[in-house]
Amino acid sequence: MNEKLNDFLAYGMDSKIEKKQIYNMDGVISFITFLVFVINEIYGGAMWARVGCVLFPLSFIIFTFTRRDVTGKKIFWIYGIWGIGFSILFGVIGTIFMFLIIDKKYYITYLGIMVILYIIVLCIYISMICYLIKKEIYSSKSSKKLMGGWCFLLCGIAGMSFAKILGMNTSQEKIIQIVSVLSYLISLISVLGSLNMIKYFMIKRREKTISK
């Protein structure tokens, strides 16, 4: 099992993230955060959202800042931050829209349900990774390849479906529901990327154990 775990931790370590990619992603996150700020102002302007829209992109830029291309274990740190960032942002967007169509007395209950949903999805992702580790999918000797394109295909299909629905006579409430669901879909997919953060700390812990 240790060998299989080592293969998992080493998987993707030989990749490289150019600093230009990181700067571009900083710009994307900042732009999406600005959109969240605009949406929040149009539909009520909650103070917590205003503060978050200022602190979130600043924190994101600080945690991903680099003067050179990223290699080694720090790759997983960057991927983890990106995953967490997109998951939080699109989760907030989905929540803002859903709050427009549900009664305020149900806000806490709704948020509780969403927290449970995210926990379930996280457990599913972890179980999937454990299964792939046991099947030695991450081994350099394995002829099997991980299928990552399904995420983009799923988002593409969802986007085309949304565009088709917009062309129909759809009520405003229905459109808000669809936008919210699509936002949550992107958020839940991004949770998978956030698990790279766990991988980063696992590698650091292993390095400390070896150095002792």
pLDDT tens-place string over residues 120-151: 999 999 998 888 888 877 776 655 555 444 45
Q: Name residues of the chain where pLDDT drops below 50.
A: 147-150, 152
**Residue 173 to residues 144, 157, 158, 178, 180, Cα–Cα distance (Å):** 45, 22, 18, 9, 11
Q: What is the pLDDT of residue 133?
A: 83
Using a pLDDT cut of 90, give the percent of the chain over it: 10
- Which pTM does this prediction carry? 0.78
Please report the sign of the dihedral spanned by the C-alpha atoms of residue 70, residue 73, residue 79, residue 85. Answer: negative
* pLDDT of amino acid 144: 53
Q: Residue 116: what pLDDT?
A: 95
Nearest to 70 by CA among 207, 200, 201, 209: 200
Q: Give the rounded distance of the alpha carbon of 29 from its chain centre.
A: 12
Res 100: pLDDT: 83
pLDDT value at residue 38? 84
Answer yes or no: are the C-beta atoms of 192 and 125 closer than 8 Å. Answer: yes
Q: What is the pLDDT of residue 108?
A: 92
Instruction: Give the pLDDT confidence of 49-64 residue by residue, as tens digits.
Output: 777 778 888 888 888 8
The structure tokens 């945690």 sit at 63
Tell me how far apart the alpha carbons of residues 136 and 133 are, in angstroms, rounded to a whole number.
5
- Give the C-alpha separation, 99 to 205, whole Å: 41
CB atoms within 10 A of CB 184: 21
Secondary structure element (H or E) that encloses residue 82, with its range? helix 74-98
What pLDDT, on a 0 to 100 scale, did the predictor assign at position 121? 92
